[in-house]
Amino acid sequence: MNDEFKKLFEFSREIEKAGNPLKDLQETLRVASGLGPGADIQAVMKELKSRSTEATGMFAELRQTLGGSDAISERVRRLSGAVAKIDQANWKGDVLAIRAQHAQFSDQLRELQQQFLLPDTQTISSTVADLKLISSTIAELGGAKTVESRMAAMRLGWVDTHDHMRSFQSFIDLQEVGRLSTSALSFSADISSRLRLELGDWRDPITFNVAELETAAGRLALYDSRGFDPHLTHFSEPAYHEAVVIAGLAVEEDELPADDDDDFVELNSSAYRTLIRFEREVRAFIVTVMSGAFGDQWMNQLPPAVRDDWHAKREKARAAGANDIPLIDYADFTHYKLIIEKSDNWTKVFKPIFGRKEDVQESFQRLFPVRLATMHSRFITLDDDLLLRSETTRLINAIRRQCW
């Protein structure tokens, strides 16, 4: 199921497991909120309320969505990362309302899961043959046999019974994103342009609305406005993860076992660990290439505001009794782009690596929303995950070709 559905389902399931919510409401809500043992009722309410104020709208939209299956792809992905609207004044009624809708909601989720089927080899072969007549992408992926073998490698249902041709095309397009992102020329003008057809055009400077980006709905609205293709992630969540690994967009977390005891960690920890490793590698890359070009005084090449910020953070840490760490470890995510695009740094150091400034700027801009959501512990959507995989893959590959 889509990850927004899963979050809401897990909340509903925890309430169901807890039994009568009025009998032991504090523990019921503590489990649902993810807070640790001993959390008081005020803390529980604050946590639940902070997650969203949109549960009522989600249930209404969900019912409308499942009443018109042909529109599921576009409507489901716009559901927010809400879990429930619970406030101090009417929490009992809210919990009971959620419990009352549990049975209906479970049926709807089962219907959604059953919507995706695993095609047989004959269906794969005939459908790819049909698409080959209208799609040049199949040839670029290595031909019909290569595409068919990738589809046959899927083990979970991924074809939407309401629009199976759209599912096949989405799978092919997702594989193409993987091919382009992992190319040795991933920052060439041609590949950057072709990725924009799938991931949207992010070249123009964007003033991000941070508050809006903390919600899944806000990020999805941004992705829509940039031209991101929503069909790329129109799969059940497990099938999507199979498909991106086949596409070559695997991350180390794909090999880790799922944490059945904490679904929030399961869905978000992969993005967190990917970003931590990515930023460590970017920092090491900046130190290596900047010191190679400018020597030990390379930090004089930093934008003054960035350098001042690092020093201020170090002094604050020292005043708090912290041990010294390398100065670059005080960098914010936005600093990397500022360092790279600074005119003399770009000309002497980074242009030979990335080619065009607007392409690397675009890559960091695509990463900003998912980075913000991850570090603020917001629910990660499949669209977030795809942008994260694609852009970290492009940047890391370019960095490693240069440095290691």
User: Tens-digit pLDDT profile for the chain (404 aa)?
Assistant: 455 554 454 444 444 444 433 334 444 444 444 444 554 545 544 544 444 444 445 544 544 444 444 444 443 443 433 333 334 445 445 555 555 555 555 566 566 667 899 999 999 999 999 999 988 999 999 999 999 999 999 999 999 999 999 999 999 999 999 999 999 999 999 999 999 999 999 999 999 999 999 999 999 999 999 999 999 999 988 999 999 999 999 876 555 555 544 444 555 888 999 999 999 999 999 999 999 999 999 999 999 999 999 999 999 999 999 999 999 999 999 999 999 999 999 999 999 999 999 999 999 999 999 999 999 988 899 999 999 999 999 999 999 987 76
| Cβ atoms of 33 and 47 closer than 8 Å | yes
| Cβ atoms of 15 and 50 closer than 8 Å | no
Instruction: Count other C-beta atoms under 10 Å from residue 36's C-beta.
Output: 8
Q: What is the pTM of this model?
A: 0.75
Q: Is 40 exposed, middle or buried (0-12, 13-18, 19+ CB in 10 A)?
A: exposed
Q: Give Cα 172 distance to the centre of its chain.
A: 20
Instruction: Count other C-beta atoms under 10 Å from residue 246's C-beta.
Output: 18
Q: Is 158 exposed, middle or buried (0-12, 13-18, 19+ CB in 10 A)?
A: buried
* 148 SS3 class: helix
Three-state secondary structure string covering 271-328 = HHHHHHHHHHHHHHHHHHHHHHHHHHHHHHHCCHHHHHHHHHHHHHHHHCCCCCCCHH
Which residues lie across from 159 on neighbouring strands?
117
Question: Cα–Cα–Cα angle for 86, 90, 91, nearest 5°?
Answer: 45
- Residues with Cβ < 8 Å from 349, sequence gap 6 or more? 289, 290, 293
